[in-house]
Amino acid sequence: MNEKLFLPVRILLTLGVAEFFGPALRDSGVSHLQNPEWPGHAKVHMMWFIAYLFASGLSQIYLIWFRRPFDRGNLSLTFIWQFCNLFAFWAAVFLAPVYGGAVIDGKYHTQIFGINENILAFGFFSLLWLTGLFIFRARSR
């Protein structure tokens, strides 16, 4: 199978993996993991989430670039994995009124061009994912 044919897809998937490493940087400080207002049990769940995402990111990098022999199935699995992450974020956003959640926190989160940073970032990653999927499907025919 021609690996070079799927190089743009692999690059887009790799960019999408960045979101799996982001929480280790963004959410390990006082806004989340070290927030003194959070109960200890919530912090355990946050650390679990951060570690899971980080390990997931490493696993995806392996599937995209290092698993041999190269197989489109590894890319398919990575698309599914990233879809699950994106779906979970958007579900959390749209269901926030049901469980009393809030996407906007004026104390720790910022807006970029008047858009919440999380919405902007996940909108970008959703577009990357869709673009990669479109190219993947076109080149898999």
Specify the pTM: 0.92
pLDDT category of residue 1 using cuts at 50, 70 and 90: low
Structural domain for 26, as ranges: 3-139
The tokens describing 125, both together, are 């990653």
**How many CB atoms are closer than 10 A to CB 53?**
19
CA distances from 10 to 24, 62, 74, 108, 117 (A): 23, 11, 10, 33, 25
Task: Identify the residue whose tokens are 């906007």.
Answer: 104
In tens, the pLDDT along 74-118 reads: 999 999 999 999 999 999 999 999 999 988 877 887 888 888 899
Instruction: Report the number of distinct structural domains present in the chain.
Output: 1
pLDDT at 136 over 90: yes
Is the pLDDT score of 17 beyond 70?
A: yes
Q: Cα 111 to chain center, whole Å?
A: 19
Average pLDDT over residues 63-70: 96
